[in-house]
Amino acid sequence: MSDTFDEEENRSTEAVPVPWGSSGGFSLDDFDPESFDVSGAPSATDAEDAATKDDDPFSHLTTGTELGGRYKLEKILGRGACGVVFRASHMVIGKKVAVKCLYPMLRSHPVLVERFFREARIAAAVDHPNVIKIFDGGDDAETLFLAMELLHGETLGERLERGRLALQEARELFLKIAEGLAAMHERGVVHRDLKPDNVFLTVGDDGRPGEPKVLDFGISKLKEPGRNDLTALGTIMGTPFYMAPEQMMNAKGVDRRADVYSLGVMLYEALSGQLPYNGENVADIFSAARSASCPALGDLAPHVSPEITAIVAKAMQVEPGGRHTSVDEMRAALEAATWGSGLDENATLEQLAPPARAQLPTPKPPPVFEEASPSQIDNFQTRVLARPPVAEPALPGWAILAMVALALLALASIAVAIVAILI
């Protein structure tokens, strides 16, 4: 299981709301990205390298450090290209939280800072059990941070590394993911980076599966009056394997149907155990996706019903107009469909494939003038039974003696005739 958002204790996923304007808090509504200096902004590569350098940019944040006057840091849970996630506890109520901190050198880049805090605005706007809760943020000691619910479990990506999902497991999971996405779309949010690594499968205190959570709104598109989209011209936003073809061309113009496409790819992978398209680079993946050259889901997973195969195929249409008009529409279709085809879903593809037709031997005619045994006769011809040998009738003894006497008499007669001739 992943440590991404939780460890062995206090695994509650219930959010405790903290007012944005509380002591030391950060009001996102009043946030002005232009107030940050844009000179000397580092590249994404610089940010990634910062996580491995000896001069750790978060060296001032150690176990026991108090952040924002509200959170006490406990340990690092993970690092990313733009920051690090700590496990922490609220200093007043003791609740365990995950604190996501932006690398200090990135605070001079207004676009990255805006995206960082926009994630909190989006999550705050979407209050749904299948969407992660982010309930606080701040700026403390040159560190910009967000506080979010602490989760225990693993990502869907980690789960799929162990193999495809069972039909019932996939049904329950994807209906809930669709519910979370639908709630986002209702609030005008398009995720734009929906993938297995951005879905967290929570586990409750009793060890049972909890609610899946849609994560990471860093590049989500939130329609807000007066706010410009933060996608730079020519920049690919998202993960190519799961991106809709139109998003690869221009991320600024996508709508909720891009998330429908991504959900279709995820379901395809979850049920078949492999991605529909692959490639060594973005161009290869884009070309394959545009040509829609992937095998049908039912061909890779014969245990999946034709109904589900058709729903996934519709979600993955190249043109947005050919897809489900909304995640809600796709969810309704998934809920009403029969998922299984009746074949054993635990069998391998070789076992599920129809058996090859047996090669029948070419019939040969049986011999006409020779006796034949059953092993020499073809099963597909009329059997010719060998005729049993005819036994000769036995002669009585007196007849045999008579025949011998006649033979001796004949020989004697021949001998007498020869002597007569010689005299």
Q: In this predicted structure, what is the pLDDT of residue 275?
A: 94
Distance CA 173, CA 156 (A): 10
Burial class (CB in 10 A: 0-12, 13-18, 19+), 188: middle
Mean pLDDT over each residue of the chain, to the nearest integer: 74
Judged against a pLDDT cut of 80, whether residue 81 lies above it is answered with no
Q: Could you tell me the pLDDT band of residue 57, with boundaries at 50, 70 and 90?
A: low
The pLDDT of residue 373 is above 90: no
pLDDT of residue 358: 42
Cα–Cα distance for residue pair 13/205, rounded to 1 Å: 10
Calpha distance 155→148 (Å, rounded): 16
pLDDT at position 388, please? 52
Q: What pLDDT score does 249 carry?
A: 80
Could you tell me the CA-to-CA distances from 312 to 261, 301, 407 in Å, in that order? 9, 13, 103
Average pLDDT over every residue of 312-329 = 96
CA distance 265 to 145: 33
**Dihedral of alpha carbons 217, 222, 227, 228, sign:** positive
pLDDT over threshold 90, residue 62:
no
Mean pLDDT along residues 86-91: 94
**Most confident of the ranges 92-96, 275-279, 389-393:** 92-96
Residue 334's pLDDT is 98
Determine the pLDDT at residue 45: 39
pTM assigned to the model: 0.66
pLDDT attached to residue 71: 94
Is 42 a residue whose pLDDT tops 70? no
Please, what are the domains in the chain? 28-149 (3.30.200.20), 154-352 (1.10.510.10)
**Rounded alpha-carbon distances, angstroms, from residue 81 to 38, 103, 105, 300, 335:** 19, 9, 12, 35, 38
- In the beta sheet, which residues pair with residue 139? 144
Least confident of 242-256, 309-323, 367-381: 367-381
Which residue numbers are catalytic? Answer: 193
